Structure 1
């Protein structure tokens, strides 16, 4: 077991190296540069200012040197400073939003497991029934519909037309002044759409996977004999 784990960990080294190479290449192939982002909207930006920015971000160095400096800083979680007006470290901004990201992922995963597993099992037990066909249509829609498009539709319907759910943020502006019960409900309302959309594709995939595996087990000789 220890040997297997060590082997897998060793395989991660070339994998991570390949990922960093691809990310670095894509960043350099993308149109524009970090200096353009900071100077295009500034009418007073001069060529000298652009050159100073290039030097500050090491963009005047050879590509291999840029790559090794970038990887070295990434290894110690030094991601530089944000281009936004607050000029805060990128790592701080990521850490600030990490709890909400983890919460959304955990809730969507729980929803997928709680709903998809029973759906798949029931569909397998009642193969070719009306329930199985309805879930089959749901799975097809889950695989076919782009999540971003569905998100826009839900925002327009429940956020704009009906006004039932908020369409942005994680809490209302008056959240701090709400009583505990109302504050909790406010948080739930802000989480409903993101969690449902995050779980949408997973529900379709896992339910179909569970159905296929359940059918395979049900058709085994020892099950048929029993």
Structure 2
């Protein structure tokens, strides 16, 4: 078993490298460039400024050099600075949002353990029963609905109609005034 896990971990390395190369290449096939984002709002931005930004982000180098530069920065967790006006390091922004992301993931895992697994086991035990058919329909409908649409419907149900949850953020804007 340990050999199998070690083999899978070794095979994971070229897979990750291949995925990053493909993603990096696809990002460069997209129209425009990151410098356009920073200069398009200023119509008087000179070509010199655009070239300086291209040099700052290594966009003036060949694609393979850009990739190697990106990987070397990624290894030391230098994710650069945000394009937002505060220009904070991206790693800081990720770390700031990581606790709530982990909390939401743990909450979903608990929901899976409490609701989904028992329903799946019960459905397997009572094959071809009415319960099995109803849960099968719910599963297929759930997989068929795009997640963004389902999220919007759940926000309307639990946030607007029932008022149980805030529709933005982890707490509602008027949480201090709620009973």
**1:148-205 CA distance string (max 9 Å, x none):** 1112223334434554432111123466xx49xx7xx9xxxxxxxxxxxxxxxxxxxx
Say if 1:43 and 1:139 are closer, same or farther in 2 by CA, change over 3 A.
same
Task: Give the equivalent residue in structure 2 for 1:37.
Answer: 37
Within the alignment, does 1:94 sit opposite 2:94 as a pair? yes
Say if 1:46 and 1:155 are closer, same or farther in 2 by CA, change over 3 A.
same
**TM-score normalised to the size of structure 2?**
0.90
Of structures 1 and 2, the one scoring higher in RCO (CA 8 A, sep 6+) is 1
Within the alignment, does 1:54 sit opposite 2:54 as a pair? yes
Task: Give the equivalent residue in structure 1 for 2:104.
Answer: 104
4+ residue runs over 6 A deviation:
none
Within the alignment, does 1:167 sit opposite 2:167 as a pair? yes
Larger Rg: 1
The whole-number CA distance in structure 2 between the counterparts of 1:126 and 1:6 is 39
The whole-number CA distance in structure 2 between the counterparts of 1:140 and 1:5 is 33
Structure 1 or 2: more helix by fraction: 1
**TM-score normalised to the size of structure 1?**
0.72
Query: How many Å apart are 1:94 and its aligned residue?
Result: 0.6
| Paired residue total | 179
**Structure 2: stretches of 5+ with no match in the other structure:** none
Query: How many Å apart are 1:87 and its aligned residue?
Result: 0.1
Task: Give the equivalent residue in structure 1 for 2:6.
Answer: 6
* Cα root mean square deviation, aligned: 2.1
The whole-number CA distance in structure 2 between the counterparts of 1:150 and 1:22 is 30
**Structure 1: stretches of 5+ with no match in the other structure:** 186-226
The whole-number CA distance in structure 1 between the counterparts of 2:146 and 2:16 is 29
Within the alignment, does 1:149 sit opposite 2:149 as a pair? yes
The whole-number CA distance in structure 2 between the counterparts of 1:119 and 1:162 is 25
Say if 1:124 and 1:174 are closer, same or farther in 2 by CA, change over 3 A.
closer
SS across alignment from 1:44: coil
Say if 1:160 and 1:118 are closer, same or farther in 2 by CA, change over 3 A.
closer
Task: Give the equivalent residue in structure 2 for 1:85.
Answer: 85
